[in-house]
Amino acid sequence: MPSVVLVVGKGATVVLLAITCSVLGKILTTAASFPDRLERSAITSILGLAATAHVLNLFGLAGVLNRSVVLTFFGVTLTIGVVFLARRAAVVANRPATPSLTCASTIASIGTGRQAFLILGFVVVFFGPLLVLASYPPLAFDETLYHLPFARAFARTGGLPFLPELRVPVFPPLTELLFAGMLLIFDDVSTHLVSLLAVILTALLLVAWGKRESSWRTGALAGALYLGNPIVAQLSSTAYVEPTLTLFVTAALYSVSRYWADRSSAWLVRAAFLSATAAGTKYLGLFFVPAALVLLMFPPSERVRAHRLSTSALFCVVIAATLLPVYARIIYFTGNPLFPFLPSVFGSSLWDPAPSPYSSIASRVVEKITLPWNAVFEPAAAGRQAPVSPLVLLLLPLLLCAQARRSTARALLLTCAVFACAVPPDARYLMPILPIVCLALSSALERMFRWAVVRAHFRTRQSLFVWICCGILLLPGWLYANRAIVHRGTPPVGDAERDFFLSHQLPVYRAVEVLNKTFGTRFTVYAVHAENLVYWADGTLLGDWTGPASFARVLPLSSNPPRLFCKLRELGAGYLLVTKGHADFPLATADPWFSVHFRLIYEDEKSGLFALSSPDLRCQSADRKKSSCEAELNLIVRNDIYRRKTDGENEYYMPR
């Protein structure tokens, strides 16, 4: 029962977040008109979510990102929304009633009620498992490696600091700021609801897009095909940036298509704002800024090509205004707008990315060609994520025969193809283009239905067949979510259940929890091959493949206890956490020097935790000369005389 209450509470949180974003979006689009109610709901909610991220970014830059300010912002937004809706309701109530010649209970109204019941049942049956999956504590590697540590640092400091202990100390922070807002108001589990809402809004936008381009059947099939991908179900329950990146990219491309049709400057501004928001979410989003500009300047239709200069000028102004607060911070800290990438252009740093694992162009081409197959049947070779739905791979040939005559579809699919060739062969990086592919495939399926079924005689059967197809398309994602729930058990409620759950899902978590319960936030530990536990350490956890505390600086010293001790003290670490089973860090535990200066305080089958001797027995800072540090160690080793000292919490060995 407590787990049910937890899941229901998270569902209410999603609804509240969606309402807040929708209200903010409606405030921003008060003067805009939308011919379709579904389109209005999707676009206003997406704009509201994007605007919220930018507002939180401004709060962080001003150093006032705290609970009271965020609550005030959401409260003011909801208050304005209530006033706006009250005025609108008053206008509708004052309109003269139009007499109707039909009875109240018609076949249409009955059908509408039945359709609403089916939609409600679909929401409960399909989104229920996704909501349960999002109610677990954070477990995914990257979310606890740097996404949530960034969000926690933003929430703790009230600003947007440079975090040198993380794998990447600074990058576009818009999604992490949304996570920080959820941390300030709710908890870390609620950060998953941002991703879940992004996935729902993406599917809703696909339904509206398909309905506008063709029919409701196209939209329903597109939304179902997108939601039916196991990788979508997985990412909807994590604090990753891919769901929001996918949402903003899809909305930007939709705005481009609407500009092609209406030639409205409002859609041009939305396309620029949303593509800039995607770029402020992740560096990969930068691709869609020039891509959207090219699509706007060179549309498939000839009738809008005369406005290229004004189009590009307005687009660039919106892009600059939107991205300046995001990338100015990155340039201020590093001098590199794409930090830590392109070190050959902007200069090298301690966080330079690892060199490409592909030794030749031929190997890269092979990886690109085999990526669709690997993303479905060999997930370990495509980023170790959940697989893409096999139905997407099965339906891919339809793109060649069904989209050849549509110039707009060709332009969007060509953009997606260029993006797929540009990014690393990881299924997660293909998420931004997945909705466009699903939309094109659903359009092809709908054309097949219209060809195979005579609408005049089999309208009901065709609709039923479409609903059955939607259920089949949804099945892989639904099965993945339920399988994950069965594997994990019920979501934990309370601190005790949460610790028990995490200790089984993340075995090294037990050692980190020993430090948390003993010292709170007053510790620094160097962890070997446990970099994904950064978020779960209340203090500071060092150790990663990049940065000043990189493994390359520490692992080679494992067989030399004095040098290892000196290096850890230079880094400020008072504890060493070793993950067992890694041959690249063989500790010299038989060395008497090691047993004196590295005291084992916790051990289990997965890890060992050592406390280093006195904080005074160290090289004083990282910039102290190596020779001085070695001389101090040599003097200590020669004397080899120690005494015990305790500070009330720990016991250390110190020289007499």
Amino acid, res. 407: S
Amino acid, res. 263: R
**pLDDT confidence of residue 285:** 95
Structure tokens at 412: 């969007």
Structure tokens at 238: 């994590």
**pLDDT confidence of residue 401:** 63
Helices (H), 335-452: 343-346, 361-377, 390-395, 398-402, 407-422, 434-452
Chain segment 136-190, per-residue pLDDT in tens? 999 999 999 999 999 999 999 999 999 998 999 999 999 999 999 999 999 999 9
SS3 of residue 378 by DSSP: coil
**pLDDT confidence of residue 644:** 39
- CA-angle at 345, arms to 343 and 346, nearest 5°: 65
Indicate the DSSP class of residue 424. Answer: -
What's the pTM?
A: 0.88
Query: Which residue in 95, 76, 70, 288 sits closest to 184, CA to CA?
Result: 70
Q: What are the distances in angstroms from CA 324 to CA 47, 54, 282, 328, 490? A: 18, 11, 15, 6, 44
Burial 162-196 (b: 16+ CB within 10 A, else e): ebebbbbbbbbbbbbbbbbbbbbbbebbbbbbbbb
Mean pLDDT by 10 residues, the chain (656 residues): 79 89 89 84 95 96 95 91 76 58 39 61 81 94 95 95 92 96 94 96 94 87 94 95 97 93 89 96 96 87 64 92 95 92 89 71 79 86 87 84 68 90 89 94 82 57 77 93 93 91 92 92 92 94 92 90 90 92 82 88 91 61 41 37 39 35
DSSP track, 243-309:
HHHHHHHHHHHHHHHHHHHH--HHHHHHHHHHHHHHHTT-GGGGGHHHHHHHHHHS-SSGGGGGGHH
Burial 396-419 (b: 16+ CB within 10 A, else e): eebbeebbeeeebbebbbebbeeb
Instruction: Give CA–CA dist 336/314, Å, rounded.
Output: 26
Asked if 570 and 476 touch (Cβ cutoff 8 Å), the reply is no
Structure tokens at 380: 């370990």
Contacts of 326 (CB under 8 A, 6+ apart): 57, 172, 173, 174, 279, 280
End-to-end CA distance of the chain: 60
**pLDDT confidence of residue 49:** 96
Tell me the chain's radius of gyration from C-alpha atoms: 28
Asked if 623 and 639 touch (Cβ cutoff 8 Å), the reply is no
Phi, psi of 540 (to 5 degrees): -110, 125
**pLDDT confidence of residue 404:** 54
Instruction: Give CA–CA dist 251/285, Å, rounded.
Output: 12
Asked if 442 and 225 touch (Cβ cutoff 8 Å), the reply is yes
Structure tokens at 378: 């060999």
Instruction: Give CA–CA dist 181/17, Å, rounded.
Output: 11
Indicate the DSSP class of residue 387. Answer: P
Instruction: Give CA–CA dist 551/577, Å, rounded.
Output: 13
In 3-state terms, the chain is what percent helix, strand and coil (to 5)? 65, 5, 30
Burial 23-46 (b: 16+ CB within 10 A, else e): bbbbbbbeebeeeeebbbbbbbbb
Instruction: Give CA–CA dist 645/614, Å, rounded.
Output: 8
Question: Which residue has 């307005």 as its token pair?
Answer: 314
Instruction: Give CA–CA dist 477/126, Å, rounded.
Output: 9
**Cis bond upstream, residue 340 (ω within 30):** yes
Query: Which residue in 515, 632, 626, 644 sits closest to 574, CA to CA?
Result: 515
Chain segment 283-301, per-residue pLDDT in tens? 999 999 999 999 988 877 6
